[in-house]
Amino acid sequence: MTDIHYNHKEVESKWQQKWEADKLYRSVIDNSRPKHYALTMLPYPSGDLHIGHWYAMTPSDARARFMRMKGYNVLFPMGFDAFGLPAENAAIKDGVHPMKRTFQNIERMRRQMKSMGAMFDWEREAVSASPEYYKWTEWFFIQLYKMGLAYRKMSAVDWCPHCNTTLAREQVWGDDRHCERCGTPVIKKDLDQWFFRATKYADELLNFDGIDWPQTVKTLQTNWIDRSEGASVVFKTEIGNHDVEIFTTRPDTLWGATFMVFSPEHPLVNEITTPENKVAVEEYKTQAARQTEIQRGAVDKEKTGVFTGAYAINPVNQARIPIWIADYVMMSYGTGAIMAVPAHDERDFAFAKKYELPIVFVIQPEVKSDADGAEMNAAYVGPGVMVNSGMLNGTKVNTEKGRKNPGIAKVLDWLAKQGIGKESVNYRYRDWLISRQRYWGAPIPMVNCEIHGWNPVPDDQLPVTLPEDVEWRPTGESPLKLHPTWKNTTCPVCNGPATRETDTMDTFMCSSWYHLRYLSPHYDKGPFDPAEYDYWMPVDTYTGGIEHATMHLLYTRFFHKALRDAGIVEGHEPMLQLRNQGMVLGEDGDKMSKSKGNVIAPDVLVNKYGADSVRAYIMFFARWEMGAPWDSQGIEGAVRWVRRVWTLFTDSPTDSITDSRTGTDEVRKNLRRKVHQTLRKVTRDYENFEFNTIISSLMELMNEMYKAREAGAAGSAEWSEALEIYLKMMAPVTPHIAEELWAHLGKPYSIHTQQWPIVDEAATKEDSIELPVQINGKVRDRITVPAEATEDEIKSAALALETVQKFLVGREPKKVIVASRRLVSIVV
Ligand code: ANZ
């Protein structure tokens, strides 16, 4: 086996088979060891594992292996997020059943994943499209329904005309609002839909206490939820006396509201519009519907709108103000109607200027004494004093939001006392739209009866399984609806004829709880085995892409909180620590895509270089959280490292011999120092997910070991220790070759169950230290002193320097300071 040439194919397949046969990566409850649940995002079974999967998974695997060697009982599971549109779109295109395609793809990808040599515990594999999984997805839906967290509502939804389905807000991308999956521009459509009341948890989701998540993800979620404090105030229409509620962040400007603007979709528009304005209003509504919200909301967009002919009464001063409709007011935010304060809001200002509406100044800057609406050429948005505001004149307002602003707090109290308005918080965050008009998803387990309305399917009838005999037609209706019999059932209340919900669930529902299914993927008395839950949860480290920040990573937090309130899970958060990897780009620096022809296929690389080299290169070529363009030349460096390690180990004496051939004391001591210094650094790097510097440290140590061997160190105890520590440090990165060389050293199988070596701090100490010497704050020289030198010894060594003597010219220095043994500072 001490081949000169390293045969990666033979070595890797040999160990993969042995590890599998020995169940080396099987994770079971073990109360004698601390547990570590390492979770990495599960793939969609697209059919081929791409380099991005490797980039996400193999460093996560290395980290999990490191934790295992550190003494943790590690759970590192893998599965497939197997429902979803692509399989169904493909079925429509070429007729292959999504179930067949999906399970074939899984088969293939599982094989590819095994080639990574990762420590996945395949006995815990969970596949969201299997009935034993989606039974519990359905069951969870019912639990949320029973808690009042699932409800049905008619609403205008985002609709992809190509995929023929509704999309959640998160699945609508870009300024042009296109479908996340197929790129088609999204339109609005009215449909009866199921929602989860995620907004109930909006405030709690803004709280990240107790979890170690990247600031970027926390910021993205915070901005996504977009909490905004203000007031809701009711205006009355002059005719019809309708209540119109508005949301404003500036209740202090109420006296400056000189008109109202309704969203063109506002339900009162038809009623209040006077006959002579009907035509113009209808025309305007039609053209507004053609635009996206982003286009409509752009600050610099030319403001347009039409007068409805109706008026409202401003409740603070009884002013009669006109009601307009304009597309810059969105039905999806606040109440869909605003009070317009042109003097202090830029959009309202532009609108008032264009349509010659009055501008009333109500916040006076403290410095600039006289300003008048008519002369303003921009809205004033700064701090100041309330004027033209009746009783509240003189109130100072700063630019803080909500109650934190004493002026606004005063206004809010006044409004409440007068019964005009109340404090209110508004979120951009919406309830989660669950319904999809598709086949390949978990059925929504609800039944509708003419007498008893909607009721959940009884537990003993779960899962509601998908029928296999369906027809593929892109009709906009789910094939479940077109199926001749599937939807017919009986009412759980009266047993009379009833129909099933034919929509399926958003696949993000399946991935919101997969970490729980891994605990016991075949358990049938509940979604998970409570004993497994108690031992393994919560997830200790979660790794995956940041692109999920406002989707999966937010859904799963909401879902956990809902399950907590249902008494199903414990704790406030499902995943304690999150780390995001960056992206591997094509060699051209662009995102990899088939159409650009810049896709790197891991299978080809594994075949050519071996999994260990691919893993090592992936960890080496970029800071993990940053990512970088792929570099086909660069991988040769990793390959060379692996080969040189092989040679170093197979081409050196391994037995301890204690004669003159083992190098000088100096050589052996230096080797040991370097080994333990590297170990300290590498340990820290594994802990911090700094994979690239692990590899560079190992490369550096290897060079030192070659030098030490030249100097005769091979065969010494220090040499043996170096070999052993070296293999342990590389084992998480390159598990196969490490196992092979471990066996070559005659050590007991398996290296992956060995304890992580402990740093001998004493051995890491340098013999001497070098310090810069400053004179009057400027570095003028350096000194080298023995590592154990005292402060006084360092001082006299510094003062003895020729450079220092020149500066002193015979005088005594004013001050000599040795700053934490790092720097000598002399003041002359
Ligand atoms: C009067 C006012 C005066 C406002 C002023 C601002 C400045 P954020 O911070 O994003 O929550 N608004 C409310 N609903 C709207 C809708 N559906 N479409 C477009 N605009 C809407 O913004 C809240 C502010 O945005 C609200 O406060 C309202 O304008 C506007 F000097 O009310 B404001």
pLDDT band for 627, please (50, 70, 90 cuts).
very high
User: What's the 827 CA to ligand 1 centre distance in angstroms?
Assistant: 61
Pairwise CA distance, residues 183 & 170, whole Å: 14
pLDDT band for 475, please (50, 70, 90 cuts).
low
The pLDDT value recorded for residue 462 is: 97
Name the closest-CA residue to atom 12, ligand 1.
338
User: What's the 655 CA to ligand 1 centre distance in angstroms?
Assistant: 78
User: Among 228, 244, 247, 314, which residue has the most ligand 1 atoms within 8 Å of its CB, making it the best to mutate?
Assistant: 247
Pairwise CA distance, residues 777 & 795, whole Å: 16
Q: Which of 693, 757, 683 is nearest to 720 (CA)?
A: 757
Ligand 1 atom closest to the CA of 363, numbered from 1: 31
Q: What is the pLDDT of residues 565-617, one digit of tens each?
A: 999 999 999 999 999 999 999 999 998 888 888 888 999 999 999 999 999 99
User: What's the 345 CA to ligand 1 centre distance in angstroms?
Assistant: 8
What Cα–Cα distance (Å) separates residue 625 from each residue in 63, 235, 268, 539, 680?
14, 51, 50, 20, 22
User: What's the 249 CA to ligand 1 centre distance in angstroms?
Assistant: 6
What is the identity of the amino acid at 455?
Answer: N
Ligand 1 atom closest to the CA of 335, numbered from 1: 17
Name the closest-CA residue to atom 27, ligand 1.
248
Name the closest-CA residue to atom 33, ligand 1.
248
Q: Give the largest Cα separation in the chain, rounded.
A: 110
Predicted confidence (pLDDT) at residue 22 exceeds the cutoff of 60:
yes
User: What's the 261 CA to ligand 1 centre distance in angstroms?
Assistant: 11
Percent share of the chain, pLDDT over 90 = 78
Ligand 1 atom closest to the CA of 334, numbered from 1: 14
The pLDDT value recorded for residue 368 is: 61
Average pLDDT over residues 425-436: 93
Are residues 516 and 491 in contact, defined by beta-carbon separation less than 8 angstroms? no
The pLDDT value recorded for residue 1 is: 40
Ligand 1 atom closest to the CA of 401, numbered from 1: 9
User: What's the 169 CA to ligand 1 centre distance in angstroms?
Assistant: 21
The pLDDT value recorded for residue 383 is: 95
- What pTM was estimated for this model as a whole? 0.87
The edge-to-edge listing of strands for the beta sheet with 497-500 is: 453-456, 446-449, 497-500, 488-490
Question: Which stretches of 203-304 are assigned E, i.e. beta strand?
Answer: 227-237, 243-248, 259-262
Which tokens belong to 223?
């901005």
The pLDDT value recorded for residue 373 is: 47
User: What's the 329 CA to ligand 1 centre distance in angstroms?
Assistant: 9
Ligand 1 atom closest to the CA of 228, numbered from 1: 11
The pLDDT value recorded for residue 524 is: 96
User: Among 250, 252, 259, 408, which residue has the most ligand 1 atoms within 8 Å of its CB, making it the best to mutate?
Assistant: 250
Residue 670 CB-density burial (10 A; 0-12 exposed, 13-18 middle, 19+ buried): buried
pLDDT band for 371, please (50, 70, 90 cuts).
low
User: What's the 274 CA to ligand 1 centre distance in angstroms?
Assistant: 26
Predicted confidence (pLDDT) at residue 661 exceeds the cutoff of 80:
no
Which tokens belong to 72?
């943790």
User: What's the 390 CA to ligand 1 centre distance in angstroms?
Assistant: 23
Average pLDDT over residues 447-464: 97
The pLDDT value recorded for residue 372 is: 53
Average pLDDT over residues 135-149: 98
User: What's the 203 CA to ligand 1 centre distance in angstroms?
Assistant: 20
User: Among 244, 245, 248, which residue has the most ligand 1 atoms within 8 Å of its CB, making it the best to mutate?
Assistant: 248
What is the identity of the amino acid at 37?
Answer: Y
Ligand 1 atom closest to the CA of 340, numbered from 1: 1
Q: What is the pLDDT of residues 179-234, one digit of tens each?
A: 887 888 888 788 899 999 999 999 999 999 999 999 999 999 999 999 999 999 99
User: What's the 247 CA to ligand 1 centre distance in angstroms?
Assistant: 7
Name the closest-CA residue to atom 18, ligand 1.
329
Pairwise CA distance, residues 646 & 723, whole Å: 11
Predicted confidence (pLDDT) at residue 106 exceeds the cutoff of 50:
yes
Residues with C-beta less than 6 Å from any ligand 1 atom: 228, 247-250, 253, 263, 328-330, 333-334, 336, 338-339, 341, 344-345, 426
User: What's the 250 CA to ligand 1 centre distance in angstroms?
Assistant: 8
pLDDT averaged over the chain? 92
